[in-house]
Amino acid sequence: MTETDHEPTATRRTVRSGAFDLAVYEYGDPAAETVVLVHGWPDTNHLWHGVIPLLAQNFHVVAYDTRGHGASTRTGRVADFRLTELAADFFAVADAVSPGQPVHVLAHDWGSVQVWEAVCEPRAAGRIASFTSVSGPNLDHLGKWVRDRLGRPSPRNIWHPLTQLLSSAYTGFFMTPGLPRLVFGLLATEQRWRRVIQIMNDTAPSTIFFGPTLKRDMVDGLLIYRANIFAHLLEPRERTTDVPVQLIVAGRDIAVRPAGYDDTARWVSRLWRRDVPAGHWMPFSHPELLATATTEFAEALRKGEVAPGVTERITGEQPPHRLRAVRPTGTD
């Protein structure tokens, strides 16, 4: 929703990253541990308005508009949307809002994809305390997963990449020069996009929050697809991290299929996974679950109460604090 009466009070600042000014919004106690929230396409910081009040009870919460979105600097250059540039923006924000301590991160969609780029950088060890990833894979890992499965053909190994490729078919349209900008420019409205999200997530309209720049963000943000999809899926790099990662895997996500995360433990030394019967836009449909999972993960890591390699599966509407560990990562 674009109305401001549902929005929690924020302290706004501007963080400079290269030639870009990033609009940054802070909530809660600045002396508390920091959680940075990173949105994807075509969202802005408004994506997190159902999650922020819940996290702000325990954390210093920071949300920002990524470059090309919301109140941050606009650009029409494809190269400006490369993951290396977006990861640099993330580090600039983290350095500004929590210069003395590493930050926890909760990210969704392309926000998660760009934070995957950051957590696999050497400097992540001192800047990122934990990463909770929602509906946004590491593109290099996904590319390697596809190659590995197709290189060992079997009905299962062919079916899973095929379903992912079919789910990602829309990205081909998004990367077509000119046409998607024309279509979104003429046909995209807040009402239509809200209906799409409702259908994908079975979500009440009152839980969906848009910024006033939605239509422009939809058009300008499309460049992120052209900047990254082919580069990382066709020639995937070896990207590893020791940052603790929590995967929140949406079982009904039509864009990213759950099987695409099955090899993540090959590249992440400290990995946890929660499977949720939800659609792609969980920040709208499951804000309490995301806030609780992020809080529990941070607290458990701080207390040393979680063991690497444990996965948890949500099989119904039970709250996250009632989850049980069911199997080691990487097993069937």
The predicted structure's pLDDT at residue 312: 54
pLDDT string in tens for the chain (332-residue length): 443 344 568 999 999 999 999 999 999 999 999 999 999 999 999 999 999 999 999 999 999 999 999 999 999 999 999 999 999 999 999 999 999 999 999 999 999 999 999 999 999 999 999 999 999 999 999 999 888 888 888 888 787 877 887 777 778 878 888 788 788 777 778 888 999 899 888 888 889 999 999 999 999 999 999 999 988 888 999 999 999 999 999 999 988 889 899 999 999 999 999 999 999 999 999 999 999 999 999 999 988 876 554 455 443 333 333 333 323 333 33
Output the pLDDT for position 267.
95
Q: Is residue 4 part of a domain?
A: no
DSSP assignment letter at 241: B
- Whether residue 1 is contained in a domain is answered as no
Query: Quick check: is 6 in a domain?
Result: no
Q: Which residues are CB-neighbours of 187 under 8 A, at least 6 positions away? A: none
What's the domain range around 161?
11-328
With respect to residue 271, please indicate whether it lies within any of the assigned structural domains: yes
Please report the pLDDT score of residue 81 as a whole number: 97
Residue 8 has a pLDDT of 61
Residue 17 has a pLDDT of 98
Give pLDDT, residue 322: 34
Any domain includes 239: yes
pLDDT reported for residue 325:
33
- Between strands 34-38 and 60-64, the pairing is parallel
Split into its structural domains, the chain has a count of 1
| CATH code for the domain in which residue 210 is found | 3.40.50.1820
Give dist(CA 136, CA 321) in Å, integer.
Answer: 23
Residue 71 domain-assigned (yes or no): yes
Q: Do the domain assignments include residue 5? A: no
Kindly list the distances between the CA atom of residue 130 and the CA atoms of 203, 247, 255, 281, in Å, as whole numbers in the listed order: 28, 11, 24, 21
Of 27, 9, 98, 46, nearest to 217 by C-alpha is: 46
Q: Is the pTM of this model over 0.85?
A: yes
Residue 75 lies in a domain: yes
Long-range contacts of 77-81 (CB under 8 A, 24+ apart): 77/223, 78/223, 78/226, 78/227, 79/227, 80/20, 80/223, 80/227, 81/223, 81/224, 81/226, 81/227, 81/228
Give pLDDT, residue 132.
97
